[in-house]
């Protein structure tokens, strides 16, 4: 087909991070977030090569041993599609570099990788019945989970124009909000997936971010019914037998959503967030320019 139509993008699937200590990172997800349903893959020598923390029947966080110290923790993130082969053909027809074929990945799903304009690896993944997490569908991710929804994924963006060309024009995500932290330059752009209510968040910057800053920019949002209640519970858990260094407090963001941040042992941010604004009103999109 000369001009194939875009296959459906039905959800956010995962984010993959490297961890200096995978076991310590897994303990953070168990003890702070409550995610106890894990899948571990090992090398021939028995060391963990991939660890997966299940959020729900379709979403997860993946951890891998770090490839090098003091490097960006983000490895890739994934978008669930209904037809991986058709998506590969579609992206190729739009000038995106794609591999010669799709393949079955380590957890049994059909996928391929492509890169966005900032070099982020985006995995387009089609779930198969025999793959994980489909084969454990219905099982609880943990008795004390605080969130069962990966609401958004955020990542550093140096050129909004180039990223818009990829996410809006090619993937057909729908922009619904822009925000600024200083009322002079744009800080965030939110684009809803075309066939899902969850979204991607551009984290804009003008100066090359430090490693610590990348841990803030490259993050994921977890939907909770009540941010104050989540903060209270996280604070209780942090005060338990495993200590985590950063105090957790909630605030109201520029977008008028209540939110709170927690950080894993490598400094990667997870953001608890309510689906609606705290008072029902909506902050208008910012009209200031993007960073240059």
Q: Do 130 and 161 fall within a single domain?
A: no
Between CA 76 and CA 147, with CA 264 as vertex, the angle to 5 degrees is 80
The CATH number for 66's domain is 3.10.180.10
Asked, for residue 2, whether it belongs to a domain, the answer is no
Residue 113 above 80 pLDDT?
A: yes
Asked, for residue 57, whether it belongs to a domain, the answer is yes
Asked, for residue 280, whether it belongs to a domain, the answer is no
Q: Do 229 and 268 fall within a single domain?
A: yes
DSSP string, 215-275: HHHSEEEEE-S-HHHHHHHHHHHHTSSS--SS---EEE-TTS-EEEEEE-TT--EEEEE-S
Q: What pLDDT does 231 receive?
A: 93
Q: What is the pLDDT averaged over residues 12-40? A: 97
What pLDDT, in 10s, does the model give residues 44-102? 999 999 999 999 999 999 999 999 999 999 999 999 999 999 999 999 999 999 999 99
Q: Which residues pair with 126 in a beta bridge?
A: 110
The strand pair at 199-204 and 150-157 is best described as: parallel
Q: Do 15 and 129 fall within a single domain?
A: yes
Residue 287 above 70 pLDDT?
A: yes
The rounded distance, in Å, linking the Cα atoms of 197 and 195 is: 7
Q: Do 159 and 51 fall within a single domain?
A: no
Buried residues in 6-31 as b, exposed as e (16+ CB within 10 A)? bbbbbbbbbbbbbbeebeebbebbbb
Is this model's pTM higher than 0.85 or not?
A: yes
Q: What pLDDT does 244 receive?
A: 55
Residue 243 above 70 pLDDT?
A: no
Q: What pLDDT does 292 receive?
A: 85
Asked, for residue 229, whether it belongs to a domain, the answer is yes
Average pLDDT value over all residues in the chain: 95
Task: Give the C-alpha distances (Å, rounded to integers) separating 113 from 86, 96, 97.
Answer: 14, 11, 9
Residue 2 above 80 pLDDT?
A: no
Q: Do 154 and 81 fall within a single domain?
A: no
The domain containing residue 79 runs over which residues? 9-136
Q: What pLDDT does 1 receive?
A: 56
Q: Do 32 and 107 fall within a single domain?
A: yes
Asked, for residue 156, whether it belongs to a domain, the answer is yes
The least confident of 55-64, 204-213, 245-254 is 245-254
Q: What pLDDT does 264 receive?
A: 95
Q: Percent of the chain having pLDDT more than 90?
A: 92
The least confident of 44-48, 105-109, 199-203 is 44-48
- How many of the other CB atoms lie within 10 Å of CB of 257? 18
Q: Do 255 and 224 fall within a single domain?
A: yes
Asked, for residue 113, whether it belongs to a domain, the answer is yes
Task: Give the C-alpha distances (Å, rounded to integers) separating 89 from 93, 172, 180, 255, 266.
Answer: 6, 16, 37, 37, 37
Asked, for residue 3, whether it belongs to a domain, the answer is no
Domain boundary among 77, 110, 136: 136
Between CA 62 and CA 67, with CA 63 as vertex, the angle to 5 degrees is 135
Q: Do 199 and 100 fall within a single domain?
A: no
Residue 273 above 60 pLDDT?
A: yes
113 and 75 Cβ atoms separated by less than 8 Å: no
Q: Do 47 and 69 fall within a single domain?
A: yes
Q: What is the pLDDT averaged over residues 159-180? A: 97
What is the tally of structural domains in the chain?
2
Q: Do 170 and 78 fall within a single domain?
A: no
The rounded distance, in Å, linking the Cα atoms of 212 and 70 is: 9
133 cis-preceded (ω within 30 degrees of 0): yes
The contacts of residue 148 (CB under 8 Å, 6+ apart) are: 55, 56, 141, 223
- How many of the other CB atoms lie within 10 Å of CB of 198? 17
Q: What is the pLDDT averaged over residues 126-153? A: 96
Q: What pLDDT does 249 receive?
A: 82
Residue 240 above 90 pLDDT?
A: no
Asked, for residue 258, whether it belongs to a domain, the answer is yes
Q: Do 34 and 129 fall within a single domain?
A: yes
Q: Do 156 and 123 fall within a single domain?
A: no
């Amino acid at each position: 087909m000369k001009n194939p139509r875009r296959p459906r993008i039905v959800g956010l699937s995962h984010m993959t991070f490297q961890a200096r200590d995978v076991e310590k990172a897994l303990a953070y997800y168990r003890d702070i977030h409550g995610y106890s349903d894990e899948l571990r893959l090992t090398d021939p020598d028995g060391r963990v090569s991939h660890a997966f923390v299940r959020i729900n029947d379709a979403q997860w966080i993946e951890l891998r041993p770090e490839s090098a110290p003091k490097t960006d923790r983000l490895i890739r993130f994934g978008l669930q599609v209904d037809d991986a082969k058709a998506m590969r053909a579609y992206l190729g027809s739009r000038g995106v570099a794609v591999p010669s074929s799709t393949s079955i990945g380590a957890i049994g799903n059909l996928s391929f990788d492509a890169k966005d304009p900032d070099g982020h690896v985006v995995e387009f993944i089609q779930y198969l019945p025999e793959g994980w997490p489909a084969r454990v569908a219905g099982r609880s991710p943990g008795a004390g989970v605080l969130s069962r929804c990966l609401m958004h994924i955020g990542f550093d963006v140096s050129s909004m124009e180039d990223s818009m060309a990829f996410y809006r024009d090619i993937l057909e995500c729908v922009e619904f909000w822009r925000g600024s932290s200083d009322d002079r330059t744009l800080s965030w752009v939110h684009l809803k997936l075309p066939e899902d209510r969850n979204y991607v968040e551009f984290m804009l910057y003008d100066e090359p971010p430090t490693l610590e800053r990348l841990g803030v920019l490259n993050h994921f949002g977890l939907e909770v019914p009540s941010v104050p209640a989540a903060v209270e519970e996280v604070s209780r858990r942090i005060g338990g037998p495993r200590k985590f260094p950063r105090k957790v407090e909630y605030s109201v963001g520029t977008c008028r959503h209540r939110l709170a941040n927690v950080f894993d042992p490598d400094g990667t941010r997870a953001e608890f967030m309510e689906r609606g604004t705290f008072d029902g009103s909506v902050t208008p999109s910012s009209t200031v320019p993007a960073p240059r």
